[in-house]
């Protein structure tokens, strides 16, 4: 028996403005640190690294929404998924800008060389580019235009983005791979939960009373 029912859980409408501000906090803290000169010895690297790590964190948080909904039966939580996904894209964009600006200083030929030569950079690009169509089609209009099924199919690109992001992080470090591996484990767990769910849904019979598959 589920402990929570959708009637008893929190309505996300009240939570959303607060969550929005919370999601903005890492960016605001970064801007404040830049203005206050509190970024330490290597501010450019700090900006690149922090925008990158927050992209990955937001991707994983976004990917945690569906398993959390299934576990807690807090179905309304799905309404904050779009916001979290868009914040992933927001931080990914900041990270991309920090690469173009603060790493390459807009040297186009250097960037092309970087992209064609280095798997580390390729993984980063892949992770970012895969998010673009998802951000574009995040509106209600686009869901209707594509139809739920196609929309869902397209949005599976988020798995590719997250996996490429973890790989990018893994290749970023010189020797100490503890943190990239931790992110990899979290992503793996989130993906395994989905596989389990699918297997359960396929194997279990329909509910005798409603005649429906126990989707949730």
Partner 1 sequence: MLIQRASNILPSEITPERVYRNRREFLKAAILAPLAGAGQATGSTDKVTPYEYATTYNNYYEFGTDRSDPSKNSGKFQVKPWTVSVEGLVKKPARYDLDDLLKGFPMEDRVYRMRCVERWSMVIPWRGVPLASLIRKLEPLPSAKYVEFKAVFAKDQMPGQRSRSFGGGLDWPYTESLRLDEAMNPLTLFATGIYGKPLPNQNGAPLRLVTPWKYGFKGIKAIVAIRFVDNQPVSSWMKAWPEAYGFYANVNPSVDHPRWSQVREERIGEAGNALSSLLGQGIHNTLMFNGYGEQVAQMYAGLDLRKNY
Q: What is the DSSP letter of 10?
A: P
Q: What angle, rounded to 10 degrees, do the helices at 119-136 and 81-98 form? A: 140
Neighbours of 134 (CB within 10 A): 21
Query: 151 is written with which tokens?
Result: 């929309």
Comparing CB distances to partner 1, the nearer of 83 and 122 is 122
46, 32 contact by CB (below 8 A): no
Q: Does 32 bind partner 1 (CB under 8 A)?
A: no
String of contacts with partner 1 for each residue 105-144, x by CB under 8 A: x----x--xx--xx-x------------------------
The minimum distance between CB 187 and partner 1, in angstroms, equals 19
**Region label for 73, one of left (φ > 0), alpha (ψ between -120 and 50) or beta (otherwise):** left
134, 152 contact by CB (below 8 A): no
Of 176, 203, 210, 215, which one interacts with partner 1 (CB under 8 A)? 176
Task: With contacts defined by CB under 8 A, name the span among 9-17, 53-61, 136-144, 175-183 that binds partner 1.
Answer: 175-183
Comparing CB distances to partner 1, the nearer of 141 and 178 is 178
Q: Does 174 bind partner 1 (CB under 8 A)?
A: yes
The minimum distance between CB 89 and partner 1, in angstroms, equals 22
The values of phi and psi at residue 38, to 5°, are -110, 30
The values of phi and psi at residue 80, to 5°, are -100, -5
Q: Does 215 bind partner 1 (CB under 8 A)?
A: no
Rule CB under 8 A: which residues touch partner 1?
Answer: 33-35, 37, 39-45, 101-102, 105, 110, 113-114, 117-118, 120, 171-172, 174-176, 178
């Amino acid at each position: 028996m589920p402990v929570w029912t959708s009637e008893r859980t929190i309505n996300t409408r009240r939570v959303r403005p607060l969550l929005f501000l919370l999601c903005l906090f890492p960016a605001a803290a970064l801007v404040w640190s830049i203005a206050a000169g509190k970024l330490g010895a290597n501010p450019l690297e700090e900006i690149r690294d922090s925008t990158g790590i927050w992209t990955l964190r937001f991707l994983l948080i976004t990917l945690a929404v569906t398993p959390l909904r299934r576990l807690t039966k807090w179905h309304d939580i799905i309404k904050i998924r779009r916001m979290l996904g868009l914040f992933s894209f927001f931080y990914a964009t900041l990270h991309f800008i920090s690469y173009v600006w603060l790493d390459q200083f807009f040297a186009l030929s250097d960037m092309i060389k970087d992209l064609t030569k280095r798997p580390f950079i390729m993984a980063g690009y892949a992770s970012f580019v895969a998010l673009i169509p998802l951000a574009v089609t995040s509106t209600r209009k686009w869901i209707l235009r594509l139809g739920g099924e196609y929309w869902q199919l397209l949005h599976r690109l988020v798995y590719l983005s997250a996996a490429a992001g973890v790989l990018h992080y893994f290749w970023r470090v010189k020797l100490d791979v503890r943190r990239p591996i931790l992110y990899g484990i979290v992503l793996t767990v989130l993906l395994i939960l989905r596989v389990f769910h699918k297997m359960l849904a396929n194997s279990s019979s329909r509910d005798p009373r409603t005649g429906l598959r126990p989707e949730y």
